[in-house]
Amino acid sequence: MRTAVLVDPRYRDHDPGPHHPERPERIDAVEAMLHDWRGAPIERVRPRLASEGEILAVHAAPLLEAVRATEGKAHVAIDADTHTSARSYETALLAAGGVLELADLVARRDVQNGFAFVRPPGHHATRAQSMGFCLFNNAAAAAERLRAEHGLERIAIVDWDVHHGNGTEAIFYDDPGVLYVSLHQYPFYPGTGAATDLGRGAGTGFNVNVPFSAGVGDLGYALAFQEVIEPVLRQFAPQFVIVSAGFDCHHRDPLGGMEVTEEGFRAMTRSLLSVARDSCEGRLLAILEGGYDLDAIRGSSRAVLEELCRPDPPVEEMLGPAHLFEQLKGILAPHWRL
């Protein structure tokens, strides 16, 4: 089975305005990477529009109506950061629907795994509020569809975007069926994502935040996967892995400060593929979130895609001392064996 990619020129039709970092050229960077692709054969998938019901599975009706009300208007400011253009509503439906289309293919094992290169991104959109460049929460919609349409009971969402995915966290904060794991610069926009935010009620322990100081780079992320994330994922035993793949933790990104390189993204992808192969027949879907340097998007997307296409990932060596994550492991100890 091949790896599938989903991208469409219509994702350029969402235009937040001049000088906005979440710009249409981000899709051009992905298309340039795919045009030069010399790796294993990949399958191209076309998106569809998400239905109203698929959006309402994770969002309140007023949010949907607020985004729909922007249709045909040259410019609407939903908040200080989140702006729309005349075709943003349709583009957001196409982004969510594209993710759902690819999630279906991976869930059915029609393809090996996949990467949905969509915009606008989604992980900041809460049940009731579009924010942080995000209109609809694509990853959350995918998790709900996998449960409703494919009968899956345990979905893991791993979010390595430089910003904490407050929307995804909030939507599943009391839900033990979705394990949400976020690695992010902290404190940073949107101000959420403390290590002690573990979930609520039946969902307590199923929300795992790894808040980083700026500049930890590849080694810090690799250690987090080794010491915390991979052990938690293996105990959770997901039936499907979703990756909120933001490339704004890349060292070139103008908004972040995490100093990750393409090799860091490779290592994270290898770790998640190892879990997916052992736990859920390799069913993994990556979704583009942030990332605002075009060269970084091209290089990082290629690195992740190359790993997705690799038949047998190499075994990772131990990378450093376990004590670096002792405080975080202490917070998680009541819920996971670390």
Question: Active-site residues: which are they?
Answer: 124
Is 71 exposed, middle or buried (CB count within 10 Å of its CB: 0-12, 13-18, 19+)?
Answer: middle
Residue whose C-alpha is closest to residue 288's, from 252, 242, 253, 325: 242
What is residue 188's three-state secondary structure? coil
The whole-angstrom separation of Cα 162 and Cα 196 is 19
- C-alpha 311/C-alpha 128 separation (Å) is 41
Pairing relation of β-strands 155-159 and 240-245? parallel
Report the C-alpha dihedral over residues 175, 206, 277, 94, rounded to 10 degrees.
50
Beta strand segments in 246-298, E: 284-288
Q: How far is CA 51 from CA 30, 48, 138, in A?
A: 26, 9, 13
Using CA atoms, how far residue 134 sits from 15, 105, 126, 281, in Å, is: 12, 24, 9, 31
Element (H, E) at 3: strand 3-6
